[in-house]
Amino acid sequence: MISRAMPHLVAARLVTVIRRGRFRLHPMIAAFNDPREQQRAITATPDDMRLDLGDFEDAYERRFQLHLDERAGKAEARAKGNVTPMTRKGRLKAVH
């Protein structure tokens, strides 16, 4: 279920992908030990990443549609065979 929800969370900017398998919650929804620490993190958040400024829903829809378009383009490339084949052989050897 996480893999289905992750594109929605990223498009909503609630989660940021740091690298594969590593994510960061948005400071406005993350849990902090101290309210002052949370306030500092929220204050340090750039205005374009704030959840309470601007038109959140329209921006979310636009980013999610871009994600869907990118996925459709990749699927189309795979269907056409435009995917670069792997040239390096695997390291596994046949067992007899």
Whether 45 maps to a domain, the answer reads: yes
Q: What is the pLDDT of residue 86?
A: 64
Whether 20 maps to a domain, the answer reads: yes
Whether 87 maps to a domain, the answer reads: no
Whether 93 maps to a domain, the answer reads: no
Whether 89 maps to a domain, the answer reads: no
Owning domain of residue 12:
5-80
CA 54 – CA 77 distance, rounded (Å): 35
Residues 6+ apart with CB under 8 A from 67: 7, 10, 11
Q: How far apart are the first and last CA of the chain?
A: 40
User: pLDDT band for position 90 (50/70/90)?
Assistant: low
pLDDT per residue over 9-68, tens digit each? 999 989 999 998 899 999 988 999 999 999 999 899 888 888 887 788 888 999 999 999
Domains held by the chain: number: 1
The reported pTM is 0.65
Query: Is the C-alpha dihedral spanning 19, 23, 25, 27 positive or negative?
Result: negative
